[in-house]
Structure 1
Amino acid sequence: MRTSVVMVAMHRPDLLRSRVSDTVGVFHPDYVWHELARTWQTPGAGEQQLTAFLDGGRADRARRLCDRGMPMPVAERVAARFDPSLAHAVLALYRAAAQPLMARLGEHLEHAAQRPGLAVLATKDHVVGTETQRREAAERAGARVAVLDGLGHQWLSRAPLRAARGRRGGSGTRSDARRGIAAAADIAAGWYFADYGVSTAHTGEIHPAKRRGRRPRGKEIRQPPRRGVPRDRGSLGDCA
């Protein structure tokens, strides 16, 4: 999903008013997929890795995801719904995107400059390209760079207040933080599933408005359980 918005900006900018992505670096001609992605792209090795992941049980899956940077509340949601269908989607996605495909797609990166863009640069995110690659790709795409110092790939749920400030150009408020923390687990888990082309229908999640028999409004936010969420610290917590 985070990469798809760049694709839309390159090929159908008329569908967008603006865009935000933290993965623009994968379109750099020198980008190299991270180690786990290369495992998934390797026939046999990818199946073996994901089979072992599934066989470990829900608690073990959540711990592994958390060890890779995903906050535990998000990791638990993803682990609960990670099944063979999602594993298949992971393999299909990464094998379809193996190099040199991303480099070829990046040849059109300048077309994305037709719409205002923001490139989120989390300094400890080492899976979407080097800092130099991300800055160069952002410049080609006409995107402003928002630096989130000290954050990794899970920046959205790790520090929602800082993310809000970065996206608003430094004007994030405590109100932004409360809304961000309350929705971060839902959004981050939703991003994970959307990245692999899996809808919320697949995960079994139902919008609260649908439970009440009415259509959800466009601005309605699904609120995850707040218990155990350290709202004052602007984070979803660390691994147990």
Structure 2
Amino acid sequence: MTVVFVHGVPETPTIWNGIRDRIEQPTVTLRLPGFGSPRPARLRDKEAYAAWLADELRAMDGPVDVVGHDWGGHLAMRVVSAYDVPVRSWVSDVAHGWHPDYQWHEAATLWQRSPEGEESLAGLRKSPTGGGYTFGDALQPRGMSSELAKEVDDIHDEEMSAAILALYRSAWPNFHADWGREFDRPVTARGLILTPTGDPGAQPAQDRAIAARLGAQLTELDGLTHSWMLQNPERGADALRRFWASLPD
């Protein structure tokens, strides 16, 4: 069974390297368009990104196990709930975003406003002469490695800023408002919700409520941060292996 990893925002597929090294199954990583790669004009909102992911999964020799982090997790949940895709199982670490009471973090609410969002992201792009406060500076306290932080800063251009704005502005006030309705009906793919409790944005109670509603498994990654796969890839890989081992053949 192939495992398909989908990164979050603002990240690259590199974030999965440590996990992939510890997984015995074949693995594939997908790069979200606009994050170090061209972004087709049609990708103007979260639904268009979900349709893109669905097309990528259909092109594979499925069924597959899809693992999403951050926005990759949101897209994975949308795809398995609303698209005909060859997916055996899904994993997300941000399921609380689908809870009716979820409220976006401060940066997201800033990016959802104009012109504040444009100004904020322009300020986070690396200066040609160096210096300034960048995405890498903001994300390292949440567990991002210095190597990945540099990679993110190197690819953060106007196109990436535009992709971030398109995603966040199409996700107001939260995912429950529109996509959540699709998860009120049965989903054939089995799910796992990961809760890294050391993430400042963690919402364990909301994660548990979503897991109960969906009949998904839930695993708390006690003390790990938003970038749990970088902080402790062995624990992350173990949680995934145990989930897949529980699935019917």
Q: TM above 0.5, one fold? A: yes
Count of residue correspondences: 171
Taking a change above 3 Å as real, the CA distance of residues 151 and 112 of structure 1, as seen in their structure-2 partners, is: farther
Alignment correspondent of 1:222: none
2 CA distance for matches of 1:77 and 1:25? 28
Taking a change above 3 Å as real, the CA distance of residues 93 and 161 of structure 1, as seen in their structure-2 partners, is: same
Aligned-pair identity (%): 32
Segments of 5+ residues of structure 2 without an aligned counterpart are 1-71
Counterpart contact for 2:112–2:169, Cα < 8 Å: yes
Considering fraction of residues, name the structure with more helix: 1
Match of 2:194 among 111, 120, 133: 120
5 Å-filtered alignment, 1:91-110, equals: 91-99=165-173, 102-110=176-184
Deviation digits for residues 142-165 of structure 1, max 9, x if unmatched? 210011000121111111001011
Q: CA deviation at 1:68?
A: 4.1
5 Å-filtered alignment, 1:201-216, equals: none
Counterpart contact for 2:88–2:189, Cα < 8 Å: yes
Alignment correspondent of 1:83: 157
1:143 maps onto 2:216 in alignment: yes
User: Does 137-146 or 53-62 show the bigger shift?
Assistant: 53-62
Q: TM-score, normalised by structure 2?
A: 0.62
5 Å-filtered alignment, 1:6-17, equals: 6-12=77-83, 14-17=85-88
Deviation digits for residues 2-60 of structure 1, max 9, x if unmatched? 11111111113652111111121111111101111001001111111111111546664
1:38 maps onto 2:109 in alignment: yes
User: Does 17-26 or 68-77 show the bigger shift?
Assistant: 68-77
Counterpart contact for 1:40–1:91, Cα < 8 Å: yes
Alignment correspondent of 1:54: 125
2 CA distance for matches of 1:100 and 1:25? 10
Alignment correspondent of 1:217: none
Considering fraction of residues, name the structure with more strand: 2
Deviation digits for residues 65-106 of structure 1, max 9, x if unmatched? 323432211111111111111011111110011115543321
Q: TM-score, normalised by structure 1?
A: 0.64
User: Does 65-74 or 16-25 show the bigger shift?
Assistant: 65-74
User: Does 88-97 or 4-13 show the bigger shift?
Assistant: 4-13
2 CA distance for matches of 1:56 and 1:137? 41
Ranges of 4+ aligned residues in structure 1 off by more than 4 Å: 55-60
Name the SS of the counterpart of 2:219 in structure 1: strand
Alignment correspondent of 1:166: 239
2 CA distance for matches of 1:80 and 1:131? 33
Name the SS of the counterpart of 1:161 in structure 2: helix
Name the SS of the counterpart of 1:47 in structure 2: helix
Give the root-mean-square deviation of aligned CA atoms: 2.4
1:2 maps onto 2:73 in alignment: yes
2 CA distance for matches of 1:166 and 1:18? 14
Match of 2:226 among 149, 153, 169: 153
Match of 2:93 among 16, 22, 25: 22
2 CA distance for matches of 1:32 and 1:103? 12
Counterpart contact for 2:142–2:227, Cα < 8 Å: no
Deviation digits for residues 173-227 of structure 1, max 9, x if unmatched? xxxxxxxxxxxxxxxxxxxxxxxxxxxxxxxxxxxxxxxxxxxxxxxxxxxxxxx
Segments of 5+ residues of structure 1 without an aligned counterpart are 173-240
